[in-house]
Amino acid sequence: MTVLSLQPDSIQEHLPNSRWLVACLCAAWCDTCNAYRSAFEALAEKHPDKCFCWIDIEDQASLVEDIDIENFPTILVQIDDQIEFLGTMLPDTQQLHRMLQSFSAPEDGSRKKFQRTSLNQHAPDGWNLRTSLLEMQ
């Protein structure tokens, strides 16, 4: 799957068909983000079952105003309505790829939970990026 831009039509078409949302929260002025984008897009091709989305936090400020984004790139991994990871990562898609693989549920349905750290922050109660994206008009 390609990385979705935040056009309501593309979100409405692809996000409902995937349990996974992998979002990169960046800014257009960030050179690191700009350099990371092509690698993020290549990673999306390796995970066609997941919905990858690139969100400019300034252009779509209303989507992320409830969370603290202090560094880039900030990555969100959400499965259904559960935020599994929200935090800053090195701009290395191998690290993100390994994390996505670790979240894949074993046959018994269990899934490893990531510990909350300064890099894996709590999202505010009730904040759900998936729902916000689906409600975009």
Q: H helices within 3-56, ranges in order?
A: 8-14, 31-46
Whole-number pLDDT of residue 8? 46
Dist CA 53 CA 11 (whole Å): 9
Record the pTM: 0.84
Q: What is the mean pLDDT of residues 129-133?
A: 90
CB atoms within 10 A of CB 3: 20
In the predicted structure, residue 121 carries a pLDDT above the cut 70: no
In the predicted structure, residue 112 carries a pLDDT above the cut 80: no
Going by C-alpha positions, the residue among 123, 134, 31, 32 that lies closest to residue 69 is 123
Q: What is the mean pLDDT of residues 69-82?
A: 91
| Whether CATH 3.40.30.10 fits 8-132 | yes
Q: In terms of pLDDT, which residue wins out, 131 or 122? A: 131
Q: Give residue limits of the domains in the chain.
A: 8-132
Q: What is the mean pLDDT of the chain?
A: 83
Whole-number pLDDT of residue 10? 72
Question: 28-57, pLDDT tens digit by residue?
Answer: 999 999 999 999 999 999 998 899 999 999
Question: 10-31, pLDDT tens digit by residue?
Answer: 777 888 889 999 999 999 999 9
